[in-house]
Chains A and B, each alone.
Chain A
Amino acid sequence: MRTGSGGLVLASRGRRLVPPPDHAGGEHVLRRPDGHTILHGQMLAAELSTTLDADLARAVMAVAAGNARAAEAELCKRFAPRVRQYGLRHLRDEQGAADLVQRVLVVTIEKLRDRAVREPEQIASFILGTARMVTREMTRGASRVEPLLPEQLSLLESDSPALEPLAAEGLAGCLEQLAERERSVILLTFFQELSATEIARSLSLQEGNVRVIRHRAIQRLRACLGLLEEEIS
């Protein structure tokens, strides 16, 4: 959220921080409206997780390059899973998705440091656009993609790790509890990677019926595995 005076409001606590910041003894300092100052790193470590995406982007742009490491780290941590999902969908390969995450986040942080992002409030769209562009480059041929430099890799120290796979035993038990047809549709969907149209053809069913069966089965598996709670935690 951007305030009229150009200050930053942290989403959950409503604390307003007024750039431009001062520098004190090499440490970066942000000044509150009440006149108190706090060290950038101290504030960010405690409160970044509740800050809006756009405010993180502004925080990186508001200071000299490299002086908003915590905000940069939080942005990377937050967007890495989104870019990874995009990569898995479009590149259909774990390594490709991991490469995409690195490249997109490096471009993003570098552009923010250079203050080359014109609309920080649209940072999510900027990162999505970057993901699309880098994916196009990667699919044109790996040779066109330059390896990352060590200083670029150092930007990604907090890149969030991939999620743990589901425990096989629990998943097998939940799969066993499904209705037979649900189980078959789930195998055709996720092992054979068939679309609803293809499954409908294969099982002599209506496509809409396949979607209903698939939806119900996935809902039941999510509930059985406790994934619904995980999604909203």
Chain B
Amino acid sequence: MSRTCRQPLPLEQVVAYMLGELTDPEAGRVEEHYFSCEACTRRLETVRRLGEGIAQLVRGGHVSASVTEELLACAQKSGLTLRAYHLAPGGQVACTASPADDFVVVRLALSVAESEVVDLTAVGTEIASGAQQSRTVQDVVVDRAAGEVIYLYSGAYVRALPRTRWTLSAQVRGPEGERQVGPFTMNHTPWEELSHPR
């Protein structure tokens, strides 16, 4: 029995097999290989465990990332609770996260051309202490059809925040140069401190 493989299945082929992207003859060849190969079976198991782990993280509301409208629909369909805030440049909104929210969705109206990329900077200022934190996320996904950057924040992460003013701004980079869009302001109050939560 071989625990290692002299010609292992390429990772991309293993991923494509698992996701059903291969033609039937291609998938058949992959199967013939891993049925004779412990090492490649382990590689397949690894990728599958990874995929199942990622899906489980999302179902548990433990992920933050820029996503698409379609992914939001998929999350809602699988029973997740989303609290969404829409902001236009220059706009502001009062926001929170209830104990039932799996995710807080921030939707920033942003018209971006195909050739442009967007970096998103969020500066948070704690109301009580004035302490600041800043984070820039480069090359966020833009839902061009919706004309938005849709950012999914873990509900658990948002719930743990104290009263904070978040100022978001987008740096749009393209062949024509750079431009800044924003600010988008979010005034976060913990759910427990709200007298009449939405």
A residues sitting closer than 8 Å to B (CB atoms) are 11, 49-53, 78-79, 81-82, 85-86, 88-89, 124-125, 127-128, 163, 165-166, 168, 171-172, 175-176, 179-181, 183-184, 186-193, 195-197, 202-204, 211, 214-215, 218-219, 221-222, 225, 227, 230-232
Contact = CB atoms under 8 A, between A and B. Distances in A.
Interface secondary structure of B, over-half rule: helix
A93 to B, nearest CB: 12
Interface stretch (B34-42, B121-129, B160-168): B34-42
A197 B16 CA distance: 11
Nearest to A178: B65
Interface centre among A85, A184, A211, A218 (most CB of B within 10 A): A85
A168 to B, nearest CB: 6
Contacts of A51: 1
A127 B36 CA distance: 10
Contacts of B64: 176
B91 interface: no
Nearest to A212: B12
27 contacts: A50-B1, A53-B1, A85-B45, A85-B48, A124-B36, A128-B35, A165-B53, A165-B56, A168-B57, A171-B50, A175-B54, A180-B65, A180-B66, A180-B140, A186-B54, A188-B67, A188-B68, A189-B19, A191-B58, A191-B71, A202-B68, A203-B68, A215-B15, A222-B46, A225-B50, A230-B42, A231-B46
A85 B60 contact: no
- Provide the main secondary structure of the chain A interface: helix
B31 to A, nearest CB: 6
Nearest to A50: B1
A81 B41 contact: yes
Contacts of A211: 12
Nearest to A214: B15
Contacts of A203: 68, 141
Contacts of A189: 19, 51, 54
Contacts of B74: 191-192
B133 interface: no
Interface residues of B, number: 57
Interface in B133-179: 137-141, 144
A181 B141 contact: yes
Interface in B1-56: 1, 4, 11-12, 15-21, 27, 31-32, 34-36, 38-39, 41-56
A144 B69 CA distance: 42
B48 A88 contact: yes
B193 interface: no
A222 B50 contact: yes
Contacts of B140: 180-181, 184
Nearest to B34: A82
Contacts of B41: 81-82, 85
B11 A187 contact: no
Contacts of B56: 165, 168
Max count, chain B CB within 10 A of own CB: residue among A128, A184, A195, A203: A184
Which 5 pairs from chain A and chain B are nearest by CB?
A166-B53, A190-B54, A190-B51, A124-B36, A184-B141
A125 B67 CA distance: 42
Contact of B21 (A191, A196, A230): A196
B32 to A, nearest CB: 7
B51 A184 contact: no
B11 A171 contact: no
B88 interface: no
